[in-house]
Amino acid sequence: MKKIALLALPAAFALALTTNALADGAGVYADNCTKCHGDDGKGATKMGTKLGCKDYSTAAVQSAITDDQAFKSIKEGLKKDDKTLMKPSELSDEDIKASIAYLRTLKK
Ligand code: HEC
């Protein structure tokens, strides 16, 4: 019994790592970002309008931000004066990167 458990453990661990690495950007975005930025990245949702989300379907808005800056703002949160625009994310680094990659695809 003990031997089987010891063999199964690394396999489960490897599977978890693989699933993580293949993080589905569209899914991460849908679950964590659409509420504000919208399915289309335009930010025309109730929350997005209230908080002043920019239109990420436009090239101008997309090119104004680097992936590194986007990552930092999502990971550490984004504030304007003392108003919180985005809370620091609890997503893994891989998921944050995947969600940014997906956001990039929303540029028309
Ligand atoms: C509570 C609403 C909310 C959620 C949820 C949210 N954002 Fe934002 N986000 C904002 C607002 C407001 C801004 C500032 C205006 C703008 O750039 O659209 C912003 C800014 C950004 C920026 C630009 C950051 C910068 O430094 O200028 C990126 C990129 C971004 N969000 C991506 C995401 C992604 C990807 C997710 C999901 C993982 C997400 N946001 C979740 C509201 C939100």
Q: Does pLDDT of 64 surpass 80?
A: yes
- Cα(22) to centroid of ligand 1, in Å? 23
DSSP per-residue string spanning 59-82: HHHHHTS-HHHHHHHHHH-EEETT
Query: What pLDDT band is residue 16 in, cutting at 50, 70 and 90?
Result: low
Pocket perturbation via mutation, ligand 1, pick of 53, 55, 100 by most ligand atoms within 8 A of CB: 53
Q: What is the pLDDT of residue 98?
A: 95
Q: Does pLDDT of 101 surpass 80?
A: yes
How far is Cα 100 from Cα 28, in angstroms, rounded to an integer?
10
> Residue 51: phi, psi to the nearest 5?
-85, -10
Assign domain 24-105 to a CATH class: mainly alpha
CB 84 within 8 A of CB 77: yes
Q: Looking at the CA of residue 85, tell me the nearest atom of ligand 1.
A: 12
Pocket perturbation via mutation, ligand 1, pick of 28, 72, 78, 102 by most ligand atoms within 8 A of CB: 78
Task: Tell the residue nearest (CA) to atom 23 of ligand 1.
Answer: 70
Q: Could you tell me the two tokens for 13?
A: 């661990």
Q: What is the pTM of this model?
A: 0.85
Query: By CB neighbour count within 10 A (0-12 exposed, 13-18 middle, 19+ buried), where does 82 fall?
Result: exposed
Answer with the residue of higher pLDDT: 34 or 6: 34
The residue extents of the domains of the chain are 24-105
Mean pLDDT of 38-65: 98
How far is Cα 73 from Cα 79, in angstroms, rounded to an integer?
9
